[in-house]
Amino acid sequence: MALIVMKFGGTSVANVERIKNVARQAIAKKKAGNDVVLVASAMAGVTDKLIGYLNELTPDHNLREYDQMVSTGETSNVPLIAQAIISAGEAAESFTGVQAGIQTNNSHSKARVVRIDTANLKRALGEGKICVVAGFQGYDPASGNITTLGRGGSDTTAVALAAALKADKCEIYTDVDGVYTADPRIVKDAKKLDVISHEEMLELASLGAKVLVSRCVELGMTHDIDIMVLSSLEDKQGTLVTSKLGGRNMENLVISGITSDKNQAKIVVSGLPDKVGTASKLFTELADANINIDVIVQNATRNELSDISFTVQKNELVRAKNVCDVAANRVGAKVHADENIAKVSIVGVGITSNVGVAATMFRVLAEHAINIQMISTSDIKISCVIDEKFAEVAVRSLHDAFITGK
Ligand code: ADP
Ligand code: ASP
Ligand code: MG
């Protein structure tokens, strides 16, 4: 008997009709002789609505209360799914993150899974039940507090459970039928990939391809779990994310994907003293406030002063700016924040071994009169920070240049 983890995202469980459809799919797997663990998100839009209430009160909210609040979207959805399965004649039991034994660290709003106590799930599976687990949530055993795993975290729950339960398959069902060379909602002629390496998927995901959250790909990579991305609405072949490719996509494309990430904001701290330890102090304070930093650029020194610019996730901008304001005040520097930015990236294992890729990217952006504010590169990606309003144009024209060859 095989064990299958099936994860359904928000649009796949957005209303009772869709929930009945999901119940049917889980029951079909069960009837085919498998053990089934179903991980579900909150109904589409619910998490955003809950966060909206908190932001209306204060954007600088307490993160313990944030977790306690936003986890309820999943908490209230899984009993409904379990009931749909029971009503269709199959045994099922719903589980919160706590009941599923998902232990995390105490990093509220982006907690990491530390350990999973699978006893409860194994007991229910042993009783022949389909386990319906709330995605996105866990708990910190030291304090007993509810935690959440970051936006899109139900993907992480699914892969973490697949690892802990040594599942035979991990299937992520969503509202597109696989991983494409760009977001198919932005680029109409984006190509579906039959297979992609964990490494490239990790890069695509962390650069904004939200079809999978990067943390789940990271887990898939470390635990060598193949992840199948499929449509919950159509019975079509999906995309396999695997390590069995030796790091290269089957299509042998130089560029495997184009992404954009609008969930970024830029902070510029200008007039910092050009002294040993300045960057260290600033970024230590940001790290102490548990803020993730992305692209960093330090400008050339003028008159013994320098500017440091960096990007953070939009939802951490207020906290990051507060930290920078305090640091800047101490040394007479100035802080400027810009929310209207996006990061566009090209991803592919061929980037460093192909001459002229960066030049082509910059030329394409220039041809569309898009100013590049920051650049960052790695072995398998080049990212440019640009004005948010050009994100879609940039993705389409880069896709034309690198993938469709127009
Ligand atoms: P779920 O609610 O099922 O977790 P998400 O909205 O988080 O679904 O992720 C699916 C969405 O990811 C798609 O609707 C699509 O617009 C977007 N997406 C972005 N980049 C890509 C890509 N390269 N391939 C496929 N989908 C992508
Ligand atoms: N509901 C959470 C979110 O919207 C988790 C998820 O959908 O994966 O981010
Ligand atoms: Mg998602």
Q: Which pLDDT band holds residue 303 (cuts at 50, 70, 90)?
A: confident
pLDDT, averaged across the chain = 95
Predicted confidence (pLDDT) at residue 129 exceeds the cutoff of 60: yes
Which residue segment(s) compose the domain that 171 sits in?
3-175
Find the mean pLDDT for residues 179-188.
Answer: 97
Would 306 be classed as within a structural domain? no
Q: What CA–CA distance (Å, rounded) separates 246 from 83?
A: 43
* Inside any domain, residue 8: yes
Q: Is residue 151 in contact with ligand 2, taking CB distance under 6 Å? A: yes
Distance CA 152, CA 25 (A): 22
In this structure, is residue 22 part of a structural domain? Answer: yes
User: Does pLDDT of 118 surpass 70?
Assistant: yes
The predicted structure's pLDDT at residue 251: 52
Write out residues with Cβ below 6 Å of ligand 1.
9-12, 41, 152, 174-176, 179-180, 182-185, 209-211, 257
Question: What average pLDDT does range 124-134 have in this prediction?
Answer: 98
Please report, to the nearest 10 degrees, the dihedral formed by the alpha carbons of residues 315, 319, 324, 330 taken in order.
170
| The predicted structure's pLDDT at residue 252 | 60
Looking up residue 123, the CATH number of its domain turns out to be: 3.40.1160.10
pLDDT at residue 74 in the model: 98
Q: What is the mean pLDDT of residues 102-119?
A: 97
Segment 39-86, tens digit of pLDDT: 999 999 999 999 999 999 998 889 999 999 999 999 999 999 999 999
User: pLDDT tens across 350-390, in order?
Assistant: 787 778 999 999 999 999 999 999 999 988 899 999 999 99
Ligand 2 atom 5: the closest Cα is on which residue?
152
Query: Is pLDDT larger for residue 150 or for residue 256?
Result: 150
Query: 3-state DSSP call for residue 281?
Result: helix
Question: Which atom of ligand 1 is least distant from the CA of 182?
Answer: 23
For 15, what's the count of Cα atoms within 13 Å in the CB-facing half-sphere? 1
CA distance 96 to 354: 48
Q: Give the closest ligand to the alpha carbon of residue 48.
A: 2
Q: 5 and 37 in contact (C-beta within 8 Å)?
A: yes
What's the pTM? 0.93
Pocket test for ligand 2, best of 18, 154, 313 (most atoms within 8 A of CB): 154
Which residue among 175, 186, 346 is best mutated to probe the pocket of ligand 1, counting the most ligand atoms within 8 A of its Cβ?
Answer: 175
Which pLDDT does position 405 carry in this prediction?
Answer: 85
pLDDT value for 24: 98
The answer to whether residue 26 is domain-embedded is yes
Name which residue sits closest to atom 6 of ligand 2, judged by CA: 152
- Tally of structural domains, the chain: 1
pLDDT in tens, 210-262: 999 999 999 999 999 999 999 999 999 999 999 987 545 555 667 889 999 99
Residue 222 covered by a domain: no
Structural contact between residues 210 and 259, judged by C-beta atoms closer than 8 angstroms: no
pLDDT for position 301: 75
Residue 352: per-residue pLDDT: 76
The pair of three-digit structure tokens given for residue 114, joined into one six-digit string: 């530390």
Q: 200 pLDDT exceeds 70?
A: yes
Please say whether the beta carbons of 56 and 48 come within 8 A: no
For residues 223 and 377, what is the distance between their CA atoms, to the nearest angstrom?
A: 27
Q: Which of 43, 70, 151 to mutate to test the pocket of ligand 2 (most atoms within 8 A of CB)?
A: 151
216 three-class SS:
helix
In a domain, 204, yes or no: no
Which residue from 45, 162, 35, 151 is spatially nearest to 100, judged by alpha carbons?
162
97 lines ligand 2 (CB under 6 A): no
Mean pLDDT of 127-137: 98
Residue 335 near residue 324 (C-beta atoms within 8 A): yes
Residue 332 — pLDDT band, cuts 50, 70, 90?
A: very high
Instruction: Determine whether the shortest distance from the Cβ of 86 to ligand 2 is under 6 A.
Output: no
Q: Is residue 153 in contact with ligand 2, taking CB distance under 6 Å?
A: yes
Going from the Cα of 276 to the center of ligand 2, the distance in angstroms, rounded, reads 42
pLDDT of residue 279: 92
221 C-alpha to ligand 1 centroid (Å): 20
Average pLDDT over residues 93-97: 98
Rounded to 10 deg, the angle between the 198-206 and 214-222 helix axes is 160
Q: Is 175 helix (H, G, I), strand (E, B) or coil?
A: coil
Integer angstrom CA distances of residue 324 from 13, 33, 131, 144, 341: 41, 57, 45, 32, 19
- Is any ligand 2 atom within 6 A of the Cβ of residue 152? yes
Percent of the chain with pLDDT over 90: 89
Residue minimizing CA distance to atom 22 of ligand 1: 183
| Residue at 21 is within a domain | yes
For the segment 293-301, the average pLDDT, to the nearest whole number, is: 88
Burial tier of 196 (Cβ tally within 10 Å: 0-12, 13-18, 19+): buried
Q: Is residue 249 part of a domain?
A: no
- pLDDT above 90 for 207: yes
Q: Which one of the ligands is nearest to 153 CA? A: 2
Which residue, among 390, 359, 382, 386, has the nearest Cα to 371 in the 3D structure?
Answer: 386
